Structure 1
Amino acid sequence: MLLSGLFLLACQPKTSVIPEKETNEGKPVVYQVFTRLFGNTNTTNKPWGTIEENGVGKFADFTDRALDSIKAMGVTHIWYTGVPHHAVICDYTAYGIDNDDPDVVKGRAGSPYAVKDYYNVDPDLAIDPAKRMEEFEALIERTHRHGMKVIIDIVPNHVARNYHSISKPEGVADFGENDDTSVEYKRDNNFYYIPGEAFQVPVAGNGYKPLGGEENPLSDGKFEEYPAKWTGNGSRKAQPDINDWYETVKVNYGVRPDGTPDFDSLPAGYDTLSYQIHFNYWKDKDVPNSWIKFRDIALFWLDRGVDGFRYDMAEMVPVEFWSYMNSSIKMKNPDAFLLAEVYNPSLYRDYIRLGKMDYLYDKVELYDTLKHIMQGHGSTDHIAPIQDGLADIEHHMLHFLENHDEQRIASPEFAGSAEKGKPAMVVSTCISTSPTMLYFGQDVGEPAAGDAGFGSASRTTIFDYWGVLAHQRWMNGGAFDGGQSTPQEKELHQFYRTLLRFSSTSTALNGNYREIHSFNRENTPGYNDKVFSFVRWKDNDRVIIICNFSDSETYSFELKLDTRTIEDWHLVDGDCALTDVLTNDGEHRLNVTNNKAQINVVLKPLQSFIFQVD
């Protein structure tokens, strides 16, 4: 803050909060899109509907206009979910693809986490299934041309029960092709077996029938597999339960059935060493065959132009494998974006430091806490301790409020209103230096209310053909301009766009963090546990953030900065303008007097301010 003579000039509100020219100073923004659903304009939405009845999105639907609309939200990476060829109930035998059995497929379109062929892409996504890989490579090129990077899934813990690659490179053996099936376990087997027993389809419950009961030549309650394999979630029964991951089989990484490792361990101190040293450590080691197979799969996709991977259920695979896998990836592409699903906080640091993951989901701590608050049950007092506890790894904890596994904010089963996600999204996006992830349709308040067939409402289906109605209105027949959106959907989209563009360009959000919530709880009348506040700064870029999680109460108080922040920011007596990033208004003032700083704040229900100190 400048004194007297220069004060008026220095503290004039900025004309534009978000720079028009994109910079690399901000944080990554990941846009997760369920590829099969994104471009589908069909609104029939018949439960268990066929591809002809309900329609399906294609790679080609990610047009230049579509990619422009995604980029305009500050997106740096697109996670194209459901790209590898997975089991699907659609006849592609004309393309050399064998039909899948509904008894071991969830839904009609199939789970993207039951991969059938790691060396090709889902034929549903191509205009010409015979040229499906070429169409995906063209999408990679378009995405890169629009200044964004491409992430796809790798599912290391399990593969489809009927895995069979017809596209594998010459000399590559299928998973299980060379296994000794006479024993439960052998280090270089790709699967675990139940010798002497045949697989049996689970007994369905609650009236469930494959394909909703529709007749199908393969839907006979049988699936030939002898001997039976362990199921993806670890079930060792020849007939798994209907709630098990029965459509998949577990991959063997050299972990004996008693849980002991059958491979070398990383030496002490490797948690502080570079991926190059990890790579050199494994270079001459004899490792289990499944390690080699998945490494080669990852390198195959890097060669196609993919820029990174999201790893499904990574904690179910030993961390030593990740050291081997990720160091190999980084040697080929040091900038590869590696995101893992790990839900056990006690494992976070091992998977980051030993496993060389770039990012993990911050699900069970920040997301679950924010969800509880959004639902009207929790206290904002619980937020600051989470960030403090993760301070040493906060950069690696990716934040989100929706993804394909979680309920939609607007669904009645979650919050019942997309507006309730606004303060949580400001906190989630701005509280750390980690990336932020947005799920497609979240920005227009998609409630996921329909019954698609397999699964249940509140989560957008990942198993069936479907149209995502709020997203379709924004898509507007391919214009991607919100031409059919409601006023509320347009306003919500603008909120997300403004917030995420700010996060992708702000230097402050890549700098220091300090919560001022506790200080205000103790010293500010009217400030309560429905409000949360913190500051971010780097060099002269200084931001004050305050959010109201109440959907019914307006709060008025004098928000205070603590003494340390006043000192770190070198604030001196005076009165300086603040510009709110979310509205671009400059009506608020930061008053500093006698080493005290405060802002007169009136917070309406669900309102947030992101004040930049001018």
Structure 2
Amino acid sequence: MSIHAIYQLLPRLFGNIGGKNTPSGSIEDNGCGKMDSITPQVLRRIKSFGYSHVWYTGLLEHATKTDYSRYGIATDHPAVVKGTAGSPYAIKDYYDIDPDLATDPAQRMAEFENLVARTHQAGLKVIIDFVPNHVARQYHSDAHPAGVADLGADDDMTRAFSADNNFYYIPNERLHCDNFCPGADYMESPAKATGNDRFDAWPDRNDWYETIKLNYGVDYVGGRVHHFNPIPNTWKKMTDILLFWCGKGIDAFRCDMAEMVPVDFWHYATAAVKEQYPHIEFVAEVYDPNQYRNYIHYGGFDYLYNKVGLYDTLRAVMRHEASASAITSEWQKVDDIRSHMLNFLENHDEQRIASDFFSGTAQAGFPAFIVCALLDRAPVMLYAGQELGERGMDAEGFSGRDGRTTIFDYWCVDSLRKLCKGKKSFTKSERALYDTYERIVSMSGRDIVTQGENYDLMYANYGDTCVFDYHHLFAFIRRHGSETLLVVVNFDEKEHQTRLTIPAHAFDFLKMKEGKYTAKDLLTDTDVQITLKRYGITEITVPAQSGVVLEF
């Protein structure tokens, strides 16, 4: 496995450096980022930050209210498009690139191929989305290879379920739009099941009403009976789509809502892909911890979202809703698969750290991100704008002011504009944030992190919180060869002068020697004098909402 740090960016937003920022505005009003905006200079900066991979979010052609009919692309009915730009997860053509992202929409595939080449030339690898569970209501591929039958083209629409169908149907009933777009004249008859497993004709605004569910041979209406032999038609078509993009030179897939698709399909598809392209890696968006090992060991996934577990716990600790000591139990729950977990604090689905809905300040993210990046061998992910403290407090359109950065509308995000322009556009406080994140991400790629042992020190430091405040502090050691990192993070808004106990077992397990050391704090490049003794006291000063990473 090769991923150690992922940089997620949404090209539609990332490359947009101008526009009126009219709520729900058109592409003409608000502008749109292009693949060409991700220049060699931008990619070199991303590489120098310490990332191994870039996840280009929302590259595939999806439903939109923008008219591209002059390029032979059918228009979408506005009633079944969320926002103005549309959701990147309502795929309209699995075999095509979103025309919004091309300088010349007629050359969108060539521009994508150039982006892949530029990314590789910068020493980075490419991750793209694979959205297997659902497609846009008006899915139609006009770019599929010759001889490939379109999804749904041969379906028997008189049957609610057939193992040979690509979609699920509600026979003899049209789709009712009243609950999500009253008065709409959109016609779908018979209605197809909605993407979030809604098997009736009445989705509402809180449903994924803009999408339809793909049929992988599970009869949801008939008791969830599996029809996997012979191999369902959908399995073959979706595997062919994966292979198509492998042929374009990508390095990994981030698989959207992977657990809504049967693990048996993943077992089939990942094996087929890796037989032809052994280097391809798969990242799964999975939220059920009871299924983690199944999706890794049987489904063939290399990495899983560490959302229900580490992310949720870190968020609670950052908001002072949980003790920092709770972090220990979260890594212990996945101890046997920790290197397969993908750690993060932000992505396109989650609220920004600095938003009013999360922590209200970007500084609060540092101790948690240090844990994400350095606690174990798992890779870490950062979402573009996080490194400048993006607040996500704009009311861009469909989703309103919710602490997230829109995925549904055209918008010029100030932090992303600055990232495209370069460091000269950063304020002093933004530069400090950027530099600290850069230091942490760079550390995540070192051998001591990707290969080293880790030792959680919390169990030896429960007791008097005046000595070690385990509600706000978290401490651990990383060791590889002759290198050692002693890490202590502080979730509190005030500095802590703490006394840390390192148990005898840590010295034995990590083969450390007692003594006095001059350690370097890798976050500040300052020297710190520390004393290490079995069950002795190590005195450390830990800054507010930050940490120390002491190398010795």
TM-score bracket for the superposition, by shorter chain length: over 0.9
The match for 1:548 is: 490
Distance (whole Å) between structure 1 residues aligned to residue 223 and residue 118 of structure 2: 45
Superposed displacement of residue 574, structure 1: 2.6
**C-alpha distance after superposition, 1:59-98 (max 9, x if no partner):** 0001011101111111111100000100011111111001
Superposed displacement of residue 416, structure 1: 0.3
The match for 1:201 is: 177
The match for 1:8 is: none
Distance (whole Å) between structure 2 residues aligned to residue 45 and residue 343 of structure 1: 34
What SS is found at the alignment partner of 1:388?
helix
The match for 2:209 is: 246
Q: How many residues align?
A: 549
The equivalent position to 2:473 in structure 1, one of 531, 537, 542, is 531
**C-alpha distance after superposition, 1:225-270 (max 9, x if no partner):** 1111101011122121121111000000000123434345xxxxxx
Contact 1:108 1:463 in 2 (8 A): yes
The match for 1:561 is: 502
Query: Residues 244, 202 of structure 1: CA spacing in aligned structure 2 closer, same or farther, 3 A cutoff?
Result: farther
**C-alpha distance after superposition, 1:512-548 (max 9, x if no partner):** 1211012122478521110000111122221111000
Superposed displacement of residue 456, structure 1: 2.5
The match for 2:350 is: 406
Distance (whole Å) between structure 1 residues aligned to residue 45 and residue 545 of structure 2: 26
Distance (whole Å) between structure 1 residues aligned to residue 198 and residue 524 of structure 2: 53
The match for 1:520 is: 461
Task: Normalising by structure 2, report the TM-score.
Answer: 0.97
Distance (whole Å) between structure 2 residues aligned to residue 339 and residue 30 of structure 1: 11
**Residue 591 (structure 1) aligned with residue 532 (structure 2):** yes
Contact 2:30 2:411 in 1 (8 A): yes
Which AA in structure 1 matches 2:325?
Answer: D
- Gaps in structure 1 of 5+ consecutive residues: 1-23, 210-219, 265-284
**Residue 511 (structure 1) aligned with residue 452 (structure 2):** yes
The match for 1:276 is: none
The match for 2:539 is: 600
1:374-413 equivalent positions in 2, closer than 5 A: 374-413=318-357
**C-alpha distance after superposition, 1:174-230 (max 9, x if no partner):** 1100000111111010001111111121424xxx88xxxxxxxxxx60212111110
The equivalent position to 1:447 in structure 2, one of 376, 379, 391, is 391
The match for 1:465 is: 410
Superposed displacement of residue 554, structure 1: 2.1
Which AA in structure 1 matches 2:438?
Answer: R
**Residue 343 (structure 1) aligned with residue 307 (structure 2):** no
**Residue 31 (structure 1) aligned with residue 31 (structure 2):** no
What SS is found at the alignment partner of 2:254?
strand
Query: Residues 259, 296 of structure 1: CA spacing in aligned structure 2 closer, same or farther, 3 A cutoff?
Result: farther
Superposed displacement of residue 607, structure 1: 2.4
Cα RMSD, aligned residues only = 1.6
Distance (whole Å) between structure 1 residues aligned to residue 13 and residue 415 of structure 2: 12
The match for 2:316 is: 372
The match for 2:550 is: 611
Contact 1:566 1:596 in 2 (8 A): no
Superposed displacement of residue 509, structure 1: 4.2
**C-alpha distance after superposition, 1:377-417 (max 9, x if no partner):** 21111100111111011111100000000000000011100
Distance (whole Å) between structure 2 residues aligned to residue 84 and residue 114 of structure 1: 9
Which AA in structure 2 matches 1:349?
Answer: R
Distance (whole Å) between structure 1 residues aligned to residue 517 and residue 354 of structure 2: 38
Contact 1:508 1:541 in 2 (8 A): no
Contact 1:524 1:557 in 2 (8 A): no
**Residue 255 (structure 1) aligned with residue 218 (structure 2):** yes
Runs of 4+ in 1 over 4 A off after TM superposition: none
Distance (whole Å) between structure 2 residues aligned to residue 27 and residue 354 of structure 1: 20
Which AA in structure 2 matches 1:470?
Answer: S
The equivalent position to 2:370 in structure 1, one of 411, 414, 426, is 426
Contact 2:374 2:443 in 1 (8 A): no
What SS is found at the alignment partner of 1:91?
coil
Contact 2:20 2:29 in 1 (8 A): yes
Contact 2:3 2:53 in 1 (8 A): no
Greater radius of gyration (CA): 1
What SS is found at the alignment partner of 2:475?
strand
Superposed displacement of residue 561, structure 1: 1.3
Contact 2:453 2:510 in 1 (8 A): no
Contact 2:374 2:449 in 1 (8 A): no
Contact 1:454 1:464 in 2 (8 A): yes
The match for 1:70 is: 46
1:45-444 equivalent positions in 2, closer than 5 A: 45-204=21-180, 221-256=184-219, 257-264=221-228, 286-444=230-388
**C-alpha distance after superposition, 1:561-603 (max 9, x if no partner):** 11111123434443111111111211232333xx445432112
Distance (whole Å) between structure 2 residues aligned to residue 598 and residue 427 of structure 1: 23
Task: Normalising by structure 1, report the TM-score.
Answer: 0.87
Query: Residues 514, 524 of structure 1: CA spacing in aligned structure 2 closer, same or farther, 3 A cutoff?
Result: farther
Contact 2:19 2:29 in 1 (8 A): no
Distance (whole Å) between structure 2 residues aligned to residue 259 and residue 139 of structure 1: 45
Distance (whole Å) between structure 2 residues aligned to residue 474 and residue 250 of structure 1: 37
The equivalent position to 1:484 in structure 2, one of 425, 443, 446, is 425
Which AA in structure 2 matches 1:254?
Answer: G
| Worse-matched range after superposition: 416-425 or 323-332 | 323-332
Contact 1:55 1:466 in 2 (8 A): yes
Which AA in structure 2 matches 1:147?
Answer: G
Distance (whole Å) between structure 2 residues aligned to residue 411 and residue 93 of structure 1: 38
Query: Residues 141, 53 of structure 1: CA spacing in aligned structure 2 closer, same or farther, 3 A cutoff?
Result: same
Distance (whole Å) between structure 1 residues aligned to residue 206 and residue 50 of structure 2: 39
Query: Residues 188, 336 of structure 1: CA spacing in aligned structure 2 closer, same or farther, 3 A cutoff?
Result: same
Contact 1:32 1:440 in 2 (8 A): yes
**Residue 502 (structure 1) aligned with residue 443 (structure 2):** yes
Which AA in structure 1 matches 2:414?
Answer: L
Contact 1:454 1:463 in 2 (8 A): yes
**C-alpha distance after superposition, 1:316-368 (max 9, x if no partner):** 11000000011111112222121011101111111111101111101011101
Which AA in structure 1 matches 2:327?
Answer: I
- Gaps in structure 2 of 5+ consecutive residues: none
Superposed displacement of residue 611, structure 1: 1.0
| Worse-matched range after superposition: 240-249 or 128-137 | 240-249
Contact 2:95 2:241 in 1 (8 A): yes
Contact 1:73 1:497 in 2 (8 A): yes
What SS is found at the alignment partner of 2:416?
helix
Contact 2:455 2:478 in 1 (8 A): yes
The equivalent position to 1:578 in structure 2, one of 519, 525, 546, is 519
Query: Residues 354, 569 of structure 1: CA spacing in aligned structure 2 closer, same or farther, 3 A cutoff?
Result: closer
Which AA in structure 1 matches 2:250?
Answer: V
What SS is found at the alignment partner of 2:49?
coil
